[in-house]
Amino acid sequence: MDFQQVFGKPPETQASAPGRVNLLGEHTDYNDGFVLPTAIPQGTTVQLGFSSDSQHHFYSENLNEQVSILDINHTPSGFASYIFGCIEVLQKAGYTIPPLCVYVKSSVPMGSGLSSSAALEVATLRALRQLLNLPINDLEIAQFAQQAEIQYAGVQCGIMDQMASSLADTEHILFLDTRTLERRVMPLPEKAEILVIDSGVPRTLASSGYNQRRAECEEAARSLGVKALRDITDVNVIKALAEPLQRRARHVVTENNRVLEVLQGVTSERFGELMNASHVSLRDDYEVSVPALDTLVEIIQKTEGVFGARLTGAGFGGASVALVRSGQSKGIATHVLEQYNQAGYNGQILVPSLGLSDAA
Ligand code: ADP
Ligand code: MG
């Protein structure tokens, strides 16, 4: 069903936004540190029209689900909360949003760590900006999107996903200082492209493990007398910490330094080495990998045409990301998955998408 079939008239406008993958800078955001995401080819498109009654109506093609907002004082649940949140944060900022018909379609896999949620928010806000001529810039779109996700979808997220979706594209990576929001858009390393393969292992322990790591980092920062681990650049300083805090802090400090090295300008080969080093650090110091991800990353790293690979996202399962030679990602993925799945796993390629079209 398209917009016309759902709402009985064509849309007034539409806008799109991409999902994202983080290339380097993992578990650094809640330490006030640095991240380096890029946009993926898959995206979300939001079409808007004016509602003919006094209610908002939201439809998701992916879920084949329609939600009408009967009471604007009551936040809806599920996918509608993200769209409702975008509308509400704009209203709170002083913009008047009329009752709308909203149609969503997406090629970003949902819940796979490629940030379909940020793509949905940023596409919604872009479409609203266009429809109503709102004087908001791309940075503000990212900030409104984050507020919508925290306040209305109830997810305590950082701002990386929304910044990446709003400011990066598939040709560029976004360097972001999560403390100051200083940022720089840089080209992808030369003659390289991105490959994302899901391990097929669900992130079951992810939330408890994540909270524990956050607490450990806070404790480490407190012991060292700094506001956040971002304030340490010399690994020698953390030797004063007891284990496991020392290892946790070492990951954060070395990971931040890896991102800062990329900012100086590096070759694809060096970028790959930094990704490999990030994986070792996440596995041994931060202890957020699992055997499946280690196996997958090792197979990728040994494959011809690969610059480097590591787990991406919070870990405990989920996906891997690799930097590979341009034009070779699909061939590499086929080779990798053959070996990986032979070991009894159920891996699958997420980026590039194997579908006919990437744009939603
Ligand atoms: P991720 O952002 O990693 O994909 P999240 O759990 O943060 O995972 O966000 C996924 C949620 O975002 C979905 O459960 C759904 O509520 C919402 N969402 C994202 N894209 C769509 C879409 N195309 N249609 C409906 N809901 C969507
Ligand atoms: Mg998300």
Number of structural domains the chain divides into: 2
CA of 110 to the centre of ligand 2 (A): 8
Q: Is the CB of 124 under 6 A from ligand 1?
A: no
- Residue 231, CB half-sphere, CA atoms under 13 Å: how many? 11
How far apart, in whole angstroms, are the C-alpha atoms of residue 169 and residue 151? 27
Domain boundary among 187, 213, 228: 187
Model-level pTM? 0.94
Which atom belonging to ligand 1 lies closest to the Cα atom of 61? 24
Structure tokens at 81: 């909360």
- Looking at the CA of 104, name the nearest ligand: 1
Same domain, 181 and 209: no
pLDDT tens for the chain, 360 residues: list them.
999 999 999 999 999 999 999 999 999 999 999 999 999 999 999 999 999 999 999 999 999 999 999 998 999 999 999 999 999 999 999 999 999 999 999 999 998 889 999 999 999 999 999 999 999 999 999 999 999 999 999 998 889 999 999 999 999 999 999 999 999 999 999 999 999 999 999 988 778 899 999 999 999 999 999 999 999 999 999 999 999 999 999 999 999 999 999 999 999 999 999 999 999 999 999 999 999 999 999 999 999 999 999 999 999 999 999 999 999 999 999 999 999 999 999 999 999 987 655 555
Q: Is the CB of 206 under 6 A from ligand 1?
A: no
Q: What pLDDT is stored for residue 94 in this prediction?
A: 98
The pairs formed by 249-254 with CB atoms below 8 angstroms and a separation of 24 or more are 249/217, 249/220, 249/224, 250/281, 250/285, 251/27, 251/281, 251/282, 251/285, 251/286, 252/27, 252/28, 252/31, 252/33, 252/217, 253/229, 254/281, 254/285
Residue 196: domain span: 192-359
Same domain, 106 and 122: yes
Domain boundary among 187, 214, 231: 187
Q: Whose CA is nearest to atom 26 of ligand 1?
A: 79
Q: Which of 32, 161, 177, 285 is catalytic?
A: 161
Q: Residues with beta carbon < 5 A to ion ligand 2?
A: 115, 117
How far apart, in whole angstroms, are the C-alpha atoms of residue 295 and residue 282? 14
Same domain, 296 and 260: yes
Same domain, 200 and 172: no
Same domain, 88 and 174: yes
Q: Is the CB of 62 under 6 A from ligand 1?
A: yes
User: 3-class DSSP state for residue 76?
Assistant: coil
Domain boundary among 170, 187, 204: 187
How far apart, in whole angstroms, are the C-alpha atoms of residue 273 and residue 16? 33
CA of 340 to the centre of ligand 1 (A): 28
Same domain, 168 and 44: yes
Residue holding tokens 């991102």? 259
161 a catalytic residue: yes
